[in-house]
């Protein structure tokens, strides 16, 4: 199962349309998409506009490959569940987000185990063709860094 | 119970998605505190490590929705009055901004932890919120400045972090030009 998700804030048709076309071209019937609140409708895959947090996690767990926008919540869930993820950033100049922070996040993710970055929809389709579900993501820590936890602990207790 | 031996009261606030995920990663820092959480989706209660913590749901509004923001502001104001926290911490965005504002105006300790997604520049809400924050933090060393924000680590230590000090120095050099 391939699970596509673009988060709850805004749609990301460019990503969803590319995967929908790819699924049609390749006769894939194992793709499920969360597309956001948009007028566009996929023609080759099952979809939902929005998804609640527990169904989101359940979908992630039962998938072998994730395709997601470069949002922190999506990426962290993918790594926490140990699933390989194909990430494509929203772009500011295409009005897909308010600034290019996802582009910066995507560039930071390049080269990490278990994540493949596609900078646009053309690269996304290429990567979908070659992406291996065997790849196991690196394990990540469950909490913030010790230094940050110590700083916040001191802050809440009013010590410097 | 007298003030001297009661637990420190913490109010941890954020909007949804990545902001909430990041806030959860601070949980161990509140281990000896009386914690209340506030966010924008009721289902997020399932994510709490300690299910006995208080949990509040706020309306979801962004800075593009003026009426929604006023509603949110009132809800946050009431929440801060009701919770009487000693310290307020947020990872953004709009709910955290209002919580810090009311918190600071009523003499609480207030912390803004800018989202780890802001790699190249600080968030607009973070820059605006800095005036209400007694502690202003960035998660990227190269964004730290002498007058704030400070850098003291991040919420995704082995996933998203500065590669090495060369990158940091390069960024400082670019900014000072």
Considering only CB atoms, B153 lies closest to which of A8, A145, A158, namely: A145
- Residues A107-130: tens digit of each pLDDT: 999 988 889 999 999 999 999 988
Q: Which H, E and C letters describe chain B, residue by residue?
A: CCHHHCCEEEEEECCCCHHHHHHHCCHHHHCCEEEEEEECCHHHHHHCCCCCCEEEECCCCCCCCHHHHHHHHHHHHHHHHHHCCCEEEECCCHHHHHHHHHHHHCCCEEEEECCCCCCCCCCHHHHHHHHHCCEEEECCHHHCCCCCCEECCCCCCCCCCCCCHHHHHHHHHHHHC
Q: For each of chain B's 177 residues, which pLDDT tens digit applies?
A: 455 678 999 999 999 999 999 999 999 999 999 999 999 999 999 999 999 999 999 998 776 688 999 999 999 999 999 999 999 999 999 999 999 999 999 999 999 999 999 999 999 989 999 999 999 999 999 999 999 999 999 999 988 877 655 555 565 566 555
Q: Are residues A72 and B26, on separate chains, in Cβ contact within 8 Å?
A: no
Q: Are residues B111 and A53, on separate chains, in Cβ contact within 8 Å?
A: no
Query: For chains A and B, what is the number of CB pairs under 8 angstroms?
Result: 135
Report the residue of chain B nearest A79, measured CA to CA: B159
Q: Which residues of B, range 6-35, sit inside 8 Å of A by Cβ?
A: 8, 10, 16-22, 25-31, 33
Q: Are residues A100 and B152, on separate chains, in Cβ contact within 8 Å?
A: no
Structure tokens, B82 = 């009701």
Q: How far is residue A153's CA from residue A44's CA, in Å, rounded to a whole number?
A: 50
Average pLDDT over residues A3-20: 96
Structure tokens, A144 = 């913030």
pLDDT of residue B143: 96
Considering only CB atoms, B154 lies closest to which of A52, A74, A145, namely: A145
Average pLDDT over residues A124-142: 85
- Residues A28-54: tens digit of each pLDDT: 999 999 999 999 999 999 999 999 999
Q: How far is residue B131's CA from residue B140's CA, in Å, rounded to a whole number?
A: 20
- Residues A53-108: tens digit of each pLDDT: 999 999 999 999 999 999 999 999 999 999 999 999 999 999 999 889 999 999 99
Q: Are residues A77 and B27, on separate chains, in Cβ contact within 8 Å?
A: no
pLDDT of residue B63: 65
Q: Are residues B18 and A72, on separate chains, in Cβ contact within 8 Å?
A: yes
Higher-scoring residue by pLDDT: A6, B170: A6
pLDDT of residue B46: 94
Testing the interface with A: which of B32, B152, B161, B171 to mutate, by most A Cβ within 10 A? B152
Query: Could you tell me the CA-to-CA distances from B44 to A68, A154, B70, B158 in Å, in that order?
Result: 20, 26, 23, 25
Q: Are residues A140 and B137, on separate chains, in Cβ contact within 8 Å?
A: no
Q: What is the ipTM of this complex?
A: 0.93
Structure tokens, B100 = 């810090």
pLDDT of residue B61: 78
């Amino acid at each position: 199962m391939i699970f596509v998700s673009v988060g709850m804030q805004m749609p990301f048709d460019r990503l969803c349309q590319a995967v929908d076309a790819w699924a049609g071209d390749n006769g894939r019937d194992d793709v499920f998409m969360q597309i956001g609140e948009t007028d566009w409708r996929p023609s080759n895959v099952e979809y939902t506009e929005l998804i609640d947090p527990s169904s989101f996690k359940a979908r992630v767990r039962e998938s072998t490959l994730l395709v997601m926008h470069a949002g922190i919540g999506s990426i962290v869930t993918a790594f926490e569940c140990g699933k390989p993820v194909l990430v494509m950033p929203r772009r500011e100049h295409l009005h897909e987000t308010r600034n290019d922070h996802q582009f910066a996040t995507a560039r930071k993710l390049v080269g990490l185990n278990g994540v493949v970055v596609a900078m646009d929809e053309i690269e996304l389709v290429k990567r979908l063709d070659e992406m291996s579900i065997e790849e196991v993501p690196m394990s990540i820590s469950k909490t913030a860094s010790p230094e940050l936890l110590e700083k916040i602990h001191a802050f809440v207790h009013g010590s410097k | 119970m007298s003030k001297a031996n009661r637990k420190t009261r913490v109010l941890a606030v954020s909007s949804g998605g990545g902001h909430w995920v990041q806030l959860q990663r601070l949980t161990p820092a509140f281990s000896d505190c009386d914690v209340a959480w506030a966010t924008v989706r009721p289902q997020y209660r399932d994510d709490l490590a300690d299910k006995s913590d208080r949990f509040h749901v706020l309306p979801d509004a962004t800075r593009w929705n003026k009426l929604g923001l006023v509603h949110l502001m009132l809800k946050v104001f009431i929440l801060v009055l009701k919770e009487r926290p000693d310290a307020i911490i947020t990872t953004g965005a709009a709910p955290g901004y209002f919580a810090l504002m009311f918190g600071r105006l009523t003499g609480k300790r207030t912390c803004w932890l800018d989202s780890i997604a802001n790699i190249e520049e600080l968030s607009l809400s973070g820059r605006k919120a800095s005036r209400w924050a007694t502690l202003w933090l960035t998660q990227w060393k190269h964004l730290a400045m002498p007058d704030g924000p400070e850098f003291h680590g991040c919420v995704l230590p082995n996933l998203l972090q500065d590669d090495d000090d060369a990158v940091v120095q390069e960024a400082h050099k670019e900014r000072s030009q």
